[in-house]
Structure 1
Amino acid sequence: MISEAYMKKSEQAAFTRANLVLSAARRFDRYGYDGTTLSSVCVEANVTLGALTFHFRCKASLACAVVQKGVDELRRTSAARPTAAGALTELSLLVLQVAKTLQGNVLTRAAVRLIQEGHVASDWLDLFHEEVSRLLEGATAAGDLGAGVRSATAVRLVMYVVEGAMADARRTLAGEGPTGPDFVEVWSAVLEGLDAHTR
């Protein structure tokens, strides 16, 4: 039979690990991999270096844990969108949900930054890019993409807009200037430019 003391110790270990992952995510999100030290994560988490290295042997393993948590959340977000009629509507739902998650969840922002910097391997960005491409190709085939707008160009635009949402969230949290327009407003303007039926 598992003792109460063992259960409490296990719960405390799980709490410390989760706290370390979240604290590391805050540092990675703000400063990137190279700008984050284990000692700064310890200060953020209010734990000793020994407690950190008990759970994570090095900064690379800590970064991997952040990416795993963040990407899991992004996968849930992408999979949870309702089925929509029309590729552009489905694209819009996907982009709005992913951007909302990236803006509001430091684990997801940190994960994407670590992937973009090349410190942790993950296929999430590639899969997101492929899904955006698939939907925009579907919009082109249906005649819903504006004349003169190539799907490849639209894909790049979507990726820029989502990355911009992440950067805005980072700047706002750091208090580096006023909050820009709401992302829904920005996305509506982008979608209007892409949609053949709004011209």
Structure 2
Amino acid sequence: MCREANVTLGAVTFHFRSKAALASAVVEEGTGELRGLGTAGPATGRPLHELTSLVLRVATALQTTVLTRAAVRLVEEGHGCSGWPGDFRAQVLRLAEEAAATGDLAADVRPATAVHVVLHVMEGVAANARRAAPRGGPPVADVEEIWYAVLGGLAADAL
């Protein structure tokens, strides 16, 4: 992690007296950035477009920002506590429910199922980004292309 962040272990241990303090700081900063991404998109009245924008903003952060990726991993592994995963899930559910109400969600897709699909895509993005980071290259998968393939199964009509 120090190598990815381009800092020395000495610098880290000078500022953080314990692993728990470091994990807490990483989680707070990284999930704070994710929360900001969740509020960055404008309300358009087109819930699947808003969902696409949200998914692609978060996926880009997971792929390109070490702090964000580390924060999510620490929370997933139980080394930090954050309400961000629940907030993200709630945003996705709200947008899926709006899409269902407007007839934009495929009739055979429940909003809860759409949430599960989005969460699985995001887990894959995070895992792929973690694998790509040590090699110093971009993640292999083209998230936007994958997302539009997934969206084709969620949307009532092509967007």
**TM exceeds 0.5?**
yes
- The correspondence for 1:63, drawn from 11, 23, 26, is 23
TM-score (norm 1): 0.72
- The correspondence for 1:125, drawn from 85, 91, 100, is 85
Deviation readout 1:98-137 (Å, 9 max, x if unpaired): 1111111010011011111111111001000011011101
Aligned in 2, Cα 1:177/1:66: closer, same or farther, shift over 3 Å? Answer: closer
Give distance in 2, aligned partners of 1:178 and 1:73: 20
Give distance in 1, aligned partners of 2:8 and 2:70: 20
Q: Which runs of 5+ in 1 are unaligned?
A: 1-21, 28-43
User: What does 1:1-199 correspond to in 2, within 5 Å?
Assistant: 23=2, 26=4, 45-48=7-10, 52-175=12-135, 180-198=140-158
Q: Conserved in 1, the CA contact under 8 Å of 2:62 and 2:126?
A: yes
TM-aligned CA deviation for residue 83 of structure 1: 2.4
Give distance in 1, aligned partners of 2:40 and 2:97: 22
Q: Conserved in 1, the CA contact under 8 Å of 2:47 and 2:96?
A: yes
Identity score, percent: 50
Look up the equivalent residue of 2:39 and give its one-letter code: A
Give distance in 2, aligned partners of 1:181 and 1:121: 29
Look up the equivalent residue of 1:79 and give its one-letter code: T
Q: Conserved in 2, the CA contact under 8 Å of 1:171 and 1:177?
A: no
TM-aligned CA deviation for residue 181 of structure 1: 3.4
TM-score (norm 2): 0.89
Q: Matched residue pairs, number? A: 159
TM-aligned CA deviation for residue 85 of structure 1: 2.8
Give distance in 1, aligned partners of 2:136 and 2:31: 27
Matched residue of 1:147: which SS? coil
TM-aligned CA deviation for residue 82 of structure 1: 2.4
Look up the equivalent residue of 1:148 and give its one-letter code: D
Give distance in 1, aligned partners of 2:143 and 2:49: 16
Q: Conserved in 1, the CA contact under 8 Å of 2:75 and 2:82?
A: yes
Structure showing greater Rg: 1
Matched residue of 2:92: which SS? helix
Q: Which runs of 5+ in 2 are unaligned?
A: none
Q: Conserved in 1, the CA contact under 8 Å of 2:24 and 2:80?
A: yes
Q: Conserved in 1, the CA contact under 8 Å of 2:129 and 2:138?
A: no
Give distance in 2, aligned partners of 1:62 and 1:162: 25
Give distance in 1, aligned partners of 2:111 and 2:128: 26
Matched residue of 1:198: which SS? coil
Alpha-carbon RMSD across the aligned residues, in angstroms, is: 2.5
